[in-house]
Amino acid sequence: MPGIEAITAACPVPVRRPVLRMRWEALTYLHWDLDPDVVVERLPPGLEPDLHDGRAYVGLIPFRMARIGISPIGVPLPHGRFPETNVRTYVVGPDGGRGVFFHSLDVTRLAPAVVAQATYRLPYCWSRMGVDQRGTQVAYRAWRRWPGPSGAQSHVIVEVGDPLAATERTALDDFLSARWSLYEALPGGTIVRARVDHAPWPLRAARVVRLADDLVAAAGYPSPLGAPAHVRYGGDVEVRVGPPRRAG
């Protein structure tokens, strides 16, 4: 395998010709650290868990999607803003790149899911969801409709704190948030990689007020996992996603 690429807070390879453009809003990171053997069992051949201090991480990431459109022709998808919650882990690809592997992506709109699923082969799910911001608290709800397990739910409330100063931003913050690629396995087993480009996350401190979640367990991880090991509020970024290309 080639050498593993470095973690960088800013995008190292700008996406010049994006396939998709979008805005991610009101994003929260909740992460649990796990033994790498637990994660590797849930990855396709060709991907390995990316580790921080010997531990793998699985994340529950609720947010709101906005202004999604197909590029470069600039055709917007007529669905406005809608919630999304994904369950993901962090991987090293056969090309030595670091990126995200999605176990599930719950959304309320079928059309954007179909576009992304056809282009990137991502495991989208159709759910009833909501995002509610009141003062310094953000609440996220999800109830899965299809494909299952039907009725799997997630309810998260976080209290958003102050922006992180440069001196407060940790190596783990960058390990979990500074991810500039997504990886997926095609039906024949080929691993593909798509580059992701956006400004550095304006991370803020965050505290869990309520957490009741079935989606991480629905992805095959042990339940219950207990309190998250890492919680941050990411805020909003404008995003460009490049085409999927064979990795390695």
Across 120-147, average pLDDT: 91
DSSP per-residue letters across the chain: -PPPPPP-SS-SS--SS-SEEEEEEEEEEEEEEE-HHHHHTTS-TT-EE--BTTBEEEEEEEEEEEEEEETTTTEE-S---EEEEEEEEEEE-TTS-EEEEEEEEEES-HHHHHHHHHHH---EEEEEEEEEEETTEEEEEEEEEESSSTT-EEEEEEEEEEEPPTTT--HHHHHHH---EEEEE-TTS-EEEEEEE-PPP--EEEEEEEEEESHHHHTT--S---S-SEEEEEEEEEEEE---EE--
pLDDT category of residue 122 using cuts at 50, 70 and 90: confident
Residue 148 has pLDDT above 90, yes or no: no
pLDDT in tens, 30-48: 999 999 999 999 999 999 9
For the question of whether the overall pTM of this predicted structure is more than 0.85, the answer is: yes
Whether omega before 2 lies within 30 degrees of 0, making that bond cis, reads no
Residue 173 has pLDDT above 80, yes or no: yes
pLDDT category of residue 81 using cuts at 50, 70 and 90: confident
pLDDT in tens, 183-232: 999 988 999 999 999 999 999 999 999 999 999 999 999 988 999 999 99
pLDDT category of residue 149 using cuts at 50, 70 and 90: confident
pLDDT value of residue 115: 63
Q: Are 230 and 121 in contact (CB under 8 A)?
A: no
- Domain map of the chain by residue range? 20-246
pLDDT value of residue 109: 74
Q: How far is CA 19 from its chain centroid?
A: 18
CATH topology of domain 20-246: Acetoacetate decarboxylase-like (2.40.400)
Q: Are 27 and 88 in contact (CB under 8 A)?
A: no
Q: How many beta carbons lie within 10 A of that of residue 93, not counting itself?
A: 25
Across 146-171, average pLDDT: 92
pLDDT value of residue 68: 82
Across 9-30, average pLDDT: 94
Residue 74 has pLDDT above 70, yes or no: no
